[in-house]
Structure formats: C-alpha cells, structure tokens
Amino acid sequence: MFTILAVLALIFGTFRDVMFYYVIVINTLIGIVQELRAKKELDSLTLVSTPKAVAIRDGKSVTVNVSELVRDDVVVFSAGSQICADALVLSGEAQLNEALVTGESDEISKTAGSNLLSGSFVVSGEVRARLVSVGADSFASRLTLDAKKSKRASQSEMMRSLTKLIRVIGIIIIPVGLILIWNQHFNLGLDIAASVLKTVGALVGMIPEGLYLLTSIALTVSVVRLAGKRTLTHDLACIETLARVDVLCVDKTGTITVPDMDVEQVVALCPDRFNDDDIRMIMSDHAANQSRDNETIKAISRYFGDDSGRKAERSIPFSSSTKYSGAVYEEGETYLVGAPEILLGELYDEYREIIEPYTRSGRRVLLLVMYDADPGPGLPDGRLSMPIALILLTNRLRDNAIETFTFFREQGVKIKVISGDNPLTVSDIAAKAGIEGAEEWIDARELTTKAKLKNAAEKYTVFGRVTPEQKRKLVIALHQAGHTVAMTGDGVNDVLALKEADCSVAMASGSEVACQVSHLVLLDSDFSSMPSVVMEGRRVINNIERSAALYLVKNVFSFVMAMLSLAAGFTYPLEATQLSLVSTVTIGVPSFFLALESNSSIVTGRFLRNVLARAFPAGLAYVAVVLGIIAFGSAFTLEGSQVSTICAIALGITGLVMVWRTCVPMTRMRRALCVLLVLMMIFCVVFMKGWFKLEPLETGSILILAVFGLLSWPVMDWFYRIYEAASKLILSARDRRRKTRGRVL
C-alpha cells in the first residue's frame, strides 16, 4: 500500500512528496538489523538446548543431535526423553505417555516388539529401539503438517488486535481514497496532481506505518534481552502473556527447593524383624535395580549404595501416577518404596501419628514395605503391605526463594504449589518460602469430580499428591476461571500441564521433553530469575501500549478529517510530506525511546481498548485545532499554502503536547526527550521548511498559529475530560443494567 502511494506521489509530485516512504525504508532496515541480531543471539543459545539422543554406533553409546539420526539407528530412550522418531522396541521396558500425540494421558507399558510414536515421552524405565520412520515420515510430523493446513500459528492478543486494525484500515482506505480524489478534483476544482497529493497525505495519515514494525522490533529486542538473562524464547507471543500473568503454578522440588535431595534419617518400623543392616541391604538392592532418572533414586543410591549385586527378576520404575517404585526378586520376594498413604491404603490411619510429624516438618517421607504379592498395574492393596521403615528425605530451600515469592506477592501474582509429594510436607516448605496462603492445602486424591477440582483450584494454594493429569486439569480450571496462568516445571510429570498453560517455563536441567514443549527455557535452571523475566514482559507490553497511542492519534485525526472534508466539502489541509514532519518528531522518535524504557506496571485490560482510550481524545483534539485554523483561514481569506503550513506546525505543537502527556510522570530522560523534540521541531520549521513544503508565514498567519498553538494544551485536556466523563457514564449505565437483569433473574 505504501509503495503504491509513494509511486502516485512521485508521479504527480517531487522526491520531497515521498518523504514518508524514506521513513518506512529506514524503519524496515532497523527491523532487519534487529532481527538478525536476535537470530544470532538465539542461535548461540539454541546450540546449548538442542535436543540430543543416545545412539548405539559401532557398539558404543554416543550422544548426537536428534537431527543427525537416520532410519535404522538404534537409540536408547530413558525417563524424560521425548521419542524423536517412530521406533520399534528391541529390549527393555518403559512407561510412555502419548498424550501429546493421541490426547490420551494414560501411561502405556512398552516392551520388546512394541511400537513407539514420535512425540510421546518416557515417564519411567529405559528401552533400546530401532528407528523406523524419521523426519517428515514420522507420526508426529504427519500430525504437525495436518495441523498447519487447518490452523494458523497462534498470535498474542496484542498482535491479533494490530492485525485486525490494519486489515480494517486496508479495507476502508481504498474507497475513501477514490472518493477523496473525486471530491477534490471534480467538486473543489483542484487539478489532478494537487488532488492526488492531498489524498496521499490523508491516506498516509490513516495507516499506522510504524506501529506493527515498532511492535515487532520491541518484541525482538525483548527476546535478545531475555537471551542476555540466559532465557531461551521458543514463542514470541509468550512475552506478552508473561506481562499479563496473574497466577503462577510451581512445583516444590527444583522451584521452591533445590533439585538435589538427601536421605536424612531412616526410621525402622519393625526392628525385631528388619534391623538397620537389613534395611540398608534392601534399599541398596532397590537402588541397584532402578534407573538413575530421578533425584529420589540418586539420593537413595548415595546414602545406601547401589553395589549389592542382587539382580531383580522384574523392576517397577517410579511413576508419578502410582507414586511408588519396586523390585520383584526370585521366589516372588517383593519390596516397594513410595508414598505411605498409597502403599498402606486403609492401614494408613494406624501409622498416621508416626508419619505426619515428619511430613509437617517439611521432610519428604517414603515408606519401604514388603509386599505379599506380585504388584500388577494400578495401586497396591495396603492389606498386603508389611511396613519396614520410613525413609526421610530433605530438600534445601533455594537461596533466593523468599525474595522471589515476595516479589510475586507484591506484584499481585497468586502462587499455586502443585506437587506429587505429601500436602503437609509441601505446605511446610511453601510457608518457609514465604508463599501467601501456604496453610491452605488439599490432598488431590480428594478431588474426585470436576466440580471439586474447579472449586479447589480457586480456594487452595497447596496441592499435594497430584497426578500429571490432575496438574493439567488444575491449569485448565484456573484458565477457565479467567486467570492468565504461567506454569514452571522440569519433569515429565509436568509436561501435560506445561502444554495447557498460557505461558510455560521449563528448567534446562530438567527433562528434554519439558524443555521442548515450553515457551521459555531457563538455561541456568534458576527460578530466582523469573522476576526479571516477568518484568521484561511487562516492560515491553506497557511501552508498546504507550507508544501505540502516539501512532493511533494520527490515524484517528486523518480518518475523521477525511470524512469531514467529504461531508463539508473543504480541501484536505495537509500533504504527505508535511505529515511526515509531524510523524517523525511526535511519533517516530519518541515511540522508539519510550519503547525501550523500564516499566513494571501490571498489564490490565485489552490492548486495543487501552490504546484507543489514550489516542481517541487526542485525535479529536487534533481535529478541533485544524478545523479552527481552517475556519480562521477562510474568514481571513488566507491562501491554501498558508493554511496548510499553519496546520502542519500546529499539529506538531499539539503532537508535542500529546508526547508530554504520554511521558507523565516525568523522569530526567523523558524531560530531555521532550526538550530534544521541541528543538527538532524548531530546526525543521526554520531550516528545512522547503523540504517539508512549509511556506514562510505572513503576520496574520503567525497570529493564528500562536493562538491555536497556545490553545492546543487546554483543548486536548478538555477532550480527555469529556472522554473520561463519557466512559464513566457508559460504565455506570452498564452496571445498572446488570443489576436490573440480576434482580429480574
């Protein structure tokens, strides 16, 4: 569109008449440079987080990039790995979750001969598999291609609003332009060249030429700034979402506490039959027969050792849904280690007084039992469990946990702690971290219906014994309640919830699949960096909103003036070159500086509504000033060039008033910016008037300019007061209608 307008201006005018196009070219070049800079920065970070796989090459295990895998490669998939290609299991056993590709969240056991679908992920266990379909031939790739045909990539609310605005303007601008040319040439008697140039000036003013570009640049710069904070951005839209987050869901381990756990104490429950040496041997056997895919097993290995040499006939890997792991030895001898309330079932009340003092003190409590059967799928029967010992583990609070959660409380962000651990343990840890409402806890096993879960999502702060599927449902419930939800996670048990969150944040030290599905990845795996990440989102969105108002003021003015010129039959007073002066000094330069400022205000409301609330009154003030000048010019029979020059300079003054209002509250940098803009305007009017088609003003014209220049501030203030009063009346009337409707119901 701009190219067409530039060509028309060049045909019927001079190179000065395409001044607006030079600004577009410069803005585009700046955007390209910023995009290249961002790409370079992100490429360096992406190398660190590139998905990798363990392949068997020449009989040896080697770590390679997933992109280097080929058909018939043998790959080792362990807990936390995402299946990168369709494969056939050769050996081993693992529990897989296929929810990301099939929508079914049940864990599926895979053994030799089973098929693995790309896109699914390993919950527990380990298998060796031969790749049968890679790249575009894999199941996940075919799904992705089908999705791309039927669904566009998601855009943030802000980008959707801008796209819609520009689309509407694009539809309106063509018939308006044709009518303007017709009116000015045939009805007002201007020659075709003057008609085209006046029309180009009106249409250029209607298009927010730099707004979309400014938004893209600001978001790109934000990506670079986040990269500097060791945060990898997978999705540009999540930066806006970050700024609107009002609920943050976190896990206990790895977020509130450090990931590492240590066994602190062993409490024997039947010392007459199982003494300390017996317990140590059983736990050492247990560690030796489990894969090192979670921090609990690592802690058990460090404390009890894992070199017993006793081989289990069948190993039961830990699962987030069942909350236990185990091993079956010869002659059916079976030991299970897991959550006491799960393994004991109905017998838990008999041991409650022994167990709960430890859980209330913030320790994680595991129970070792001898199981008098071969456990099948699902939960064990507590009546068949013989309790042997309690294994007490501790997590140390992260150094900056209290400061981090204090920040979120002060910013109005609610914290929801969603964990698979005992709710008493999690509640104690949350209280120590300073999380508000930590005493409000619930055991997720009580949330047996959708209604209970929905109510609990709003009421409680701490959720214990949560399954991966329940995590997902809690995030959905919070979202349906109108919250903007962020979710942090690092394990495979977090993946389903991360996919549902408005903004998902993974720790790079966590599972591969969690990093792949998240919008943001904290490469240092340090939750204390989250405040700076949230502040970056708020900074960029608040500043874009503020700068966008400057752009839309001109659009409101140009559209209203074009409609009035058609209705009242007067010549459109400005040309594109004159408007480019106003755009550069009162929009382009200030918006660039304001978009890069720090701004920590909470983002509320709809983007376009917020922007129009600032732009509409100012745009009408522009119209009032220009109409007044046209009326005075007509009364004093000033030449058209004099009126046009007065309008351009007066618009510049009114635009500077708008910039001043936008900069309030003032800072040293903002005052300096306003002074710079005033000096720029004076320089252009005095020394570059020929370039911007500004005529030397006569005495009468100077007086008119002085009057309306002085009136610009009170006129704009008056329109803002009217707009605010009208808004209050509309809201009041709407509230009355709602109350009336409520009484009727």
Catalytic residues: 251
Which 3 state secondary structure label does DSSP give 590?
Answer: helix
Query: 414 by DSSP, 3-state: which?
Result: strand
Are the C-beta atoms of 195 and 138 separated by less than 8 Å?
Answer: no
Structural contact between residues 276 and 268, judged by C-beta atoms closer than 8 angstroms: yes
**Containing H/E element for 415?**
strand 414-418
Give the residue among 674, 648, 676, 650 at the shortest CA–CA distance from 662. 674
CB 34, CB 215: distance < 8 Å:
no
Residue 231 makes CB contacts below 8 A (sequence gap 6+) with: 520, 521, 522, 523, 529, 533
For residue 371 the two structure tokens come to 């199981």
Closest CA to 344 of 397, 423, 432, 269: 269
User: Within 10 Å of residue 699's Cβ, how many Cβ atoms?
Assistant: 7
Tell me how crowded residue 743 is: count the other CB atoms within 10 A of its CB: 7
**Tokens 């030799």, residue?**
112
Can you state the angle between helices 276-288 and 295-304, rounded to 10 degrees?
A: 130
**CB < 8 Å & 24+ apart, contacts of 507-512:** 507/254, 508/48, 508/49, 508/232, 509/254, 509/259, 510/80, 510/254, 511/79, 511/80, 511/81, 511/121, 512/51, 512/52, 512/80, 512/81, 512/82
C-alpha 155/C-alpha 136 separation (Å) is: 25
Q: Are strands 314-316 and 324-328 parallel, antiparallel or unpaired?
A: antiparallel
**Alpha carbon distances (Å) from 160 to 153, 214, 216, 542, 651:** 11, 15, 13, 17, 30
CB atoms within 10 A of CB 412: 10
d(C-alpha 136, C-alpha 117), whole Å:
13
Assess contact for 409 and 602: CB atoms under 8 A: no
* Residue 651 contacts residue 660 (beta carbons within 8 Å): no
Sheet holding 324-328, edge to edge: 257-268, 385-397, 364-371, 334-338, 324-328, 314-316
Element (H, E) at 503: strand 503-507
| CA–CA separation, 355 and 426 (whole Å) | 14
